[in-house]
Structure 1
C-alpha cells in the first residue's frame, strides 16, 4: 500500500469527493477536508470538517504537519460572489496562505491545483480572473506544483453545470444555437483522479513534473451540442423534437439566477456560468497525455455505455422543476398572507366572526396568521432557512386543517375546496424538503 498522505481540500465537491474516494481505492492514505460534509460523505475517520477558508497560514501548516502530508490537492472553488461565496477569498487569498503554509512546513510537499482552461486574454469574469491570479501565485512560489485545467468534467454524480446539461438532455429544450456551437471538450473525472495518482507516485525530486500546467480533456474538438447529444442517447431522448430557447430568455434566466444567488441559492444558470459557457471549454491536452501516458476516456465511456437508470432520469427531470417548486411555494405563502392582510382583510376576518369567534380575537388572529404565512414564505425564500420554512409550512398547514375540522367544519365543504387543496400543498412542501440537498 502506498503510504504517502494526500490532503484533498474541498473533499465535498464534484471533483474533490470522487478524487478522495478513488485515491483511497488506489492505496493512498487520503485526508479529505471540507467546510461541511454531508453525513453520507463521512466515509472515513480521515474525512474532516474544517473552516478551511478561515484558517491562517499557521493553522494550515499545522494541518499539513499533523497528517504528514506529501501531496496537497486544492479542489476549492466557487462560481460567483454571493452570501458565503467570495471568489477572491477562495481562489486567490486562500491559495496565497496555502503556499505560505507549504513553504513554512519544512516538508517536501507537492501542490496539485485544480484550475480552469483558457487564457488570461479570454478571462472576463471574477471567477476566471481570480483562478488565473492563483495560477500566477503558484508559478512564482518555487514550490513543486502541478496546475491541472480540466475541461467539462463528466462524473457519476452531478452538480451545477453538469446537472444542468443532464436536465437539458431530459427535456425537449435547446439552448440558443450560438451557445450550442461553443467548443466544450470534456474529461472524465476518472482521468482527473488518475492524473493526481500519477503525480502522487512521482518522487518529489523529479524536476520534470515539479512545475507543470496541463489541460485535461479529450483531444478531439466537440461542441456543447455534441456533449448533450451523448447524454440524450443515455436518457433515450435523442429522437425528441426540440424547442430552441431564445437568447434573451437565457440572459433573463441568468439575471434571475443572480438574484436568487443573493438569497443563498446557487442555481447553475447565473451570469458567470453563461459567460463561461459562451467562452467555451477548450485547450491542448497533448502535454498531459505525453507526460502521463493517460489515454483520455471517450465521451461515450465517460457518460456510460448503458442506458440511464431510473434515478438518473428522475434527477435530470426534477433538477429544473426544483426551482419551480420552491418559487411557487414562496409565492403561495407570501401572496396568501398578503391578500388576507391587505386585500381581503374584511372577508378573512368575517369568516372568523361568522363562526362565533369573540370580536376581540378576530383582528389579532387574522393579522397573526397572515404575518405567519408571509414569514413562512420568507423563510423558504432563503436557502439557509428553507428547511425550517418548509417544516413550519407543513406544521401550520396541518394546524389549519385540524383547527378547521374542530372549529369550522363547514369550511371543508366550501364550494372552492380551499381546505381540501391544503393537502396537496403539504405534499408539495414535503417534496421540496426532500429535494433540498445539493450534494
Structure 2
C-alpha cells in the first residue's frame, strides 16, 4: 500500500487536512497541496504551498509526473463568492483543468472528487450549482473517477459550520425551530479518509470503481437538533433552557456575515450557509456501504463518547464572541477618532490647550491622533490587516497611557476614568489577537 502516491488538493482545509494526515497514517505516500499552509500544518516535506488556482493544465500534469501520482483527491471548495473566493473559478474552472491534466498525463490516475449531497433540482446557490457542474465535467471526461458526496462532516478540528454547532452546544441559544428541524445526516472525517484509502488500494482499471458517485453519511435520518443534542451531551449542557433566535435575526446575521466576507473574514453565518442549512443534508449511502463494506461511525462515535475537554469548551464559548469582540474594537477606534475629529474637536483640542501645549502643536496632534485612531479601526476591520491593526491599537493605547502619565497626570483621576478604562481595552485587543486564527 505504501507505494501508492495520493495528491490532495486543499490540504489546509477541514477535510483536506484530516485526509492528508490520516492517509499517511494508513501507509500511503501523500502529497498535500494548498495555497497557504500554517506553520503547524507543514508536517512533511511533501506538504506544498502552490498557487493552485493559477496552475494551468500543463503545470498540473507536470506536478503529477514529478510526484508519480496514482490518485488525485480534490478537496477544494469555497462557500460563497467574495474577495479571493470565486465559486466558478474554484469549483468549475479548476476541475476542467484538472480532468484535462489527468487525461494528458499518460498516467493511470484516479480522481477522487469531494462534492455535496442532494440533487441538481434542489440546487439554489452558486455554491451548489457550480459543485454540480464540476460533477458533470468529471462524469463526461472519460477518466477513472469517484465522486464522494459527504454529509455534514464532523472532524476533531472545528471550522465554519462544525464550529457553529459546537457554539450552539456550549451556549444557551438555539436556531429557529424550522432550521433545527432540517434533515442533517452526518459523516465522520475518518469515514471519508477510509473510503479514499479503499479506492486508492484498488487497481485503477477495476471496472467496479472506475466511475462511481456515492453519498457518504449515516443512513439513519436525523435533524440538526439531534446532532446538536449529541454535542450538548458531550458539553454537559443538554439540560439547559435555551432561547431560540427568531428567523429575522438569523437572516440579519447572514447579511452581516456577507458584509464581513467582503472584508476578508469567513463567518459561518452567511446567506449561502443559511440557504444550504434550510435545504438540509440528506442522501442515500447504501451504494457506498455495499461497495466498500465500511460501517459509518455512529453519532456518538462521530462526535465523541467522552465529555468535552476544557479546550473544547473555551473554543465553543469564544467562537460566537470573536465576531462581537472584533466588531466592538472596530467601532471603538473608528467612532472615537470620528468624534474627536468632527463632533467634539474643540473639546478634544481643549484638553491639550488646558495643559499648556504649544498652540502650534494642538491642532496637528488632535487631527493626527484622531486619524490614527480611525486608521487602526479600519485596519482591524479587514481580515488581512487585522493583526497589524490590533498590535497598532495596543501600542497606541500604551502610548496614550504613558504620555498622559508624563504630560497630563491629572487625567488619570478625572471622574469618567477614560485613561483607566484604556487598560481593559488593551486586554480585549490582546484577546482578539490571540483568537484571530481560523484554522
Q: TM-score range by the shorter chain?
A: over 0.9
Matched, 1:343 2:343: yes
Any idea what the Cα deviations from partners look like across 1:311-347, whole Å, max 9, x if unmatched? Answer: 0000000000000000000000001001100111001
How big is the shift at 1:398? 0.6
Query: 4+ runs of 1 displaced by more than 2 Å?
Result: none
**Secondary structure, in 3 states, of the residue corresponding to 1:192?**
helix
Matching residue of 1:249: 249
How big is the shift at 1:47? 0.4
How big is the shift at 1:295? 0.2
How big is the shift at 1:402? 0.6
Matched, 1:365 2:365: yes
- The 2-side partners of 1:434 and 1:52 are apart by 29
Matching residue of 2:206: 206
- The 2-side partners of 1:404 and 1:298 are apart by 61
**Secondary structure, in 3 states, of the residue corresponding to 2:356?**
coil
Matching residue of 2:92: 92
How big is the shift at 1:420? 0.8
How big is the shift at 1:415? 1.2
Write out aligned runs for 1:71-82 (5 A): 71-82=71-82
Matching residue of 1:417: 417
Matching residue of 2:432: 432
**Secondary structure, in 3 states, of the residue corresponding to 2:70?**
strand
- The 1-side partners of 2:14 and 2:83 are apart by 21
Matched, 1:332 2:332: yes
Write out aligned runs for 1:138-287 (5 A): 138-287=138-287
- The 1-side partners of 2:178 and 2:349 are apart by 55
Matching residue of 1:11: 11
How big is the shift at 1:60? 0.6
- The 1-side partners of 2:139 and 2:298 are apart by 31
- The 1-side partners of 2:351 and 2:2 are apart by 74
- The 2-side partners of 1:18 and 1:261 are apart by 25
Any idea what the Cα deviations from partners look like across 1:191-244, whole Å, max 9, x if unmatched? Answer: 000000000000011011010000000000000000000000000000000111
How big is the shift at 1:410? 1.0
How big is the shift at 1:411? 0.8
Aligned length: 439
- The 2-side partners of 1:143 and 1:205 are apart by 11
Any idea what the Cα deviations from partners look like across 1:52-97, whole Å, max 9, x if unmatched? Answer: 0111111111111100000000000000000100000000000000
Structure 1: tracts of 5 or more residues without a match: none
**Secondary structure, in 3 states, of the residue corresponding to 1:69?**
coil
- The 2-side partners of 1:63 and 1:138 are apart by 20
> CA RMSD of the aligned region, Å?
0.5
How big is the shift at 1:413? 1.0
Matching residue of 2:55: 55
**Secondary structure, in 3 states, of the residue corresponding to 1:239?**
coil
Q: TM-score if structure 1 supplies the norm length? A: 1.00
- The 1-side partners of 2:136 and 2:93 are apart by 12
- The 2-side partners of 1:412 and 1:244 are apart by 44
Q: TM-score if structure 2 supplies the norm length? A: 1.00
- The 2-side partners of 1:62 and 1:219 are apart by 40
**Secondary structure, in 3 states, of the residue corresponding to 1:215?**
strand
**Secondary structure, in 3 states, of the residue corresponding to 1:135?**
helix
